[in-house]
Amino acid sequence: MYEAVHAHPDGDATAARHAATAARYGYEGVVVRTREALDPVGADAVDDRSPEAAALRDEYGIDVVDAVEIDADGATSASGAVGNYRSDRTVVCVAGGDDGLNRFAVEEPRVDVLVRPMAGSGDFNHVLAKAARDNGVHVEFDLGPLFRATGGKRVRALADLRKLREIVTYYDAPHVVSANPRSHLELRAPREIVAAAEAVGFDAEWVEEGLRAWGEIAARNRERRSEAFIEPGVRLGRYEEDG
């Protein structure tokens, strides 16, 4: 399972500290959402990973995924940013929070994950769920408030998550799960996330599926970036003839 983290300068801990802590907690990988935290994938990439991410993998024995979380003012600026980062980041996320950004993200196949769709004035309905399903855009379930919010803020966040789950599961849209940590001190072990989510009514297997999905997205995108990839199911290479 994977967790998606905010590293310095966006968060309060370095990518290395997140990786070390996540490895100790039993994660297979971390997705680093902060674009400045890791060097991008380039000509000197190792195994379709950025050199810095590959070095952290070797040091801590955990997959480190170079990602970007695009937090834009509107769909036009978000579209430009997606175009800029799609070629050199393994995972591209777009922060939602209003109806225009939510709609843009789920209708854009170049986007991997719509994060925090219920933040701010944002809402999520059946039209967006079907678009996310059709375009393969994962919808994030941010469980951070479950661990860090209190009182009415926590109650509202849980109500939003339950509403979101109902829509996403009904229309079979893909999803990811995260506690959205900004520090290694906010990281929670997979079993803690599953247990806490289960305590407020979420299915354990569904939560685990959402934690695994981050790694599946990274693996898919690394394959697509390889020279042998042409399109899903079609690759360059030798083949054996029948006979």
Q: Which pLDDT does position 24 carry in this prediction?
A: 98
- Residue 150 is classified by DSSP as -
Q: Which pLDDT does position 97 carry in this prediction?
A: 81
CA–CA gap between residue 150 and residue 94 (Å, rounded): 26
**Could you tell me if 181 and 3 are in contact, meaning their C-beta atoms sit under 8 angstroms apart?**
yes
Q: Which pLDDT does position 42 carry in this prediction?
A: 63
Q: Where are the domains of the chain?
A: 2-235
Q: pLDDT band for 43, please (50, 70, 90 cuts).
A: low
Supply the pTM of this predicted model: 0.90
How far is Cα of residue 168 from the mean position of the Cα atoms in its chain?
16
pLDDT digit string, tens, across residues 207-236:
999 999 999 999 999 999 875 444 544 444
Which residue type sits at 240? E
In the predicted model, is pLDDT for residue 98 greater than 70? yes
**Could you tell me if 110 and 92 are in contact, meaning their C-beta atoms sit under 8 angstroms apart?**
yes
Paired tokens of 52: 């810095």
- Cα torsion through 76, 123, 162, 204, rounded to 10: -10
Q: Which pLDDT does position 136 carry in this prediction?
A: 98
CA–CA gap between residue 85 and residue 127 (Å, rounded): 27
CATH class name, domain 2-235: alpha beta
How far is Cα of residue 33 from the mean position of the Cα atoms in its chain?
8
Residue 39, Cβ density class (10 Å: 0-12 exposed, 13-18 middle, ≥19 buried) = middle
pLDDT digit string, tens, across residues 55-85:
999 999 999 999 999 999 999 999 999 999 9
Q: Which pLDDT does position 230 carry in this prediction?
A: 45
Contacts of 208 (CB under 8 A, 6+ apart): 1, 190, 194
